[in-house]
Structure 1
């Protein structure tokens, strides 16, 4: 286990290096220039200001030198300063990441709480009312766009019923119960759609495991149906479910831009979206690189979870 973990960590190095090259090259290829954003097109002494800023940001150097300098600073946690707020980018991202992690984690946990029991009972009670309900509900969840469901939640629970606030954010460390009021709607919007995918996957995995010989053997040995289902079958069936949920969490950490905008949630996805609109190139580079690192690390954690769920899994 330790040797496998060390090998996987070593394999992350070239992946992250390629990611950094791709992020830097993508931002370099964007139309326009940082200097255009800072200087503008009107006013006096534009050329002198452009020359000063070009030297300050190192744009007078070859692109490969700029990349090496940028990567070296990034490895030290220094991504430079935001062109808009003039604050250190590391500070900007660190202030946004907790909100995104909070929302994405609660959304995934909510989806698992709904999907795993529903998918399990749908497989055990195949072709029953529970099974049909699970399939119809999951199909509806997959078909309904996430942003549309979020808007419906705002209209129903905030505008018409007035039960919950439509937008905003409160840190759970400042006011836990108050933060839940702002969390419920965006977490439900995330969890409902993710639960739809996870329910179908759990049901399919359970049906596959229930058809295997070890299930018949366990029943023949006199084990109770509850023990066969929850101790043996479900544990094996959870491996693909954990895989998808881990990847969903990684995607949500950088893919909740629309929901964060709808609910005015101050997350990292919204920060990157605003940076794109404002052409804040250093923040775009840093944000995408951080999100890419999160996705890569989450993939590693998902692989390591296999062993905990099923000791028969052998690491190559």
Structure 2
């Protein structure tokens, strides 16, 4: 329990650090949000109107006063309202976050379902034709930019073969079949890099476990190869794989922006890009903090998985 409390405390401290860094960074970016909001057609806004808007938004107060109010509201779960349309930031995030998480979850499940069995089979048959082919494919996928793969998927499967829609979004409750069809291509684009990374790590980890003394001892006792692989190889090999998987899943939270843009998937990317362009501080801070918090939560869950896979970790 002490081990878990320490990690929760560290996670909360990191959230505060991220919030502070994001707040200060945005306020150091050149440009006045009030002027940007009131500018139309390249015409300079009325200085009186700019001053009134700055006062209404609280931008005329000292930076420390704004920071303190920001922390107080954040501790209450209040992310403020968008400077662009005065819409609550939390409501916008709650609307779009499930779509991004769904895309990440689908991509992760697809990557793991393909990479782990392929890596195990390649390691058991190291040096064979499958091992060489799978390793080559993993290297190509890892080097291929996600927007290139997304464009190729749309060009081949949607434009040439017309097997899949090019992009879009339909709520699951409205049309489950259409929803899953639209989810497939962006999930493949999200999964490609993760699958390549998991494959390479899992293959190396399984190869390492196959050479361990306890595995040779299990074989000498007459255990079947399948049982040795399941009980003595795969379980121990999953610890470093879990580490990589946790880090990569956290990275996907920020890496789905291009995928959502290419496939017109209405996740967090659209309000984030709009907020950055319009100096919408509350929206940017809210989305970045949400992504950072989820990243830390994922890593905390992975720590718990380490303890399940290897109980010695929880006592360290």
TM-score, structure 1 as length reference:
0.95
Contact 2:37 2:278 in 1 (8 A): no
Q: Distance in 2 between matches of 1:68 and 1:292?
A: 20
Q: Size of the alignment, in residue pairs?
A: 314
Q: Distance in 1 between matches of 2:49 and 2:148?
A: 46
Q: Distance in 1 between matches of 2:124 and 2:279?
A: 53
Contact 2:3 2:314 in 1 (8 A): no
Q: Distance in 2 between matches of 1:273 and 1:219?
A: 56
Aligned to 2:100: 100
Contact 1:254 1:268 in 2 (8 A): no
SS in 1 for 2:313: coil
Pairs within 5 Å for 1:1-316: 2-40=1-39, 42=43, 46-316=46-316
Structure 2: runs of 5+ lacking an equivalent: none
Q: Distance in 2 between matches of 1:84 and 1:64?
A: 23
Q: Distance in 1 between matches of 2:285 and 2:64?
A: 16
**Deviation of residue 11 (structure 1)?**
1.8
Contact 2:33 2:278 in 1 (8 A): no
Distance 1:43 1:274, change over 3 A: closer
Contact 1:235 1:309 in 2 (8 A): yes
Distance 1:43 1:28, change over 3 A: closer
Q: Distance in 2 between matches of 1:86 and 1:58?
A: 14
Q: Distance in 1 between matches of 2:53 and 2:8?
A: 39
Q: Distance in 1 between matches of 2:71 and 2:173?
A: 34
Answer with 264-273 or 146-155: which moved more. 264-273
1:169-193 per-position Cα deviation (integer Å, ceiling 9, x unaligned): 1233433222111011000111122
Contact 1:253 1:269 in 2 (8 A): no
Contact 1:73 1:79 in 2 (8 A): yes
1:91-144 per-position Cα deviation (integer Å, ceiling 9, x unaligned): 111111011000001101100001000100111001111211211111111121
Q: Distance in 2 between matches of 1:109 and 1:302?
A: 16
Contact 2:239 2:309 in 1 (8 A): yes
SS in 1 for 2:272: helix
TM-score, structure 2 as length reference:
0.95
Q: Distance in 1 between matches of 2:43 and 2:142?
A: 50
Contact 1:150 1:259 in 2 (8 A): yes
SS in 2 for 1:256: helix
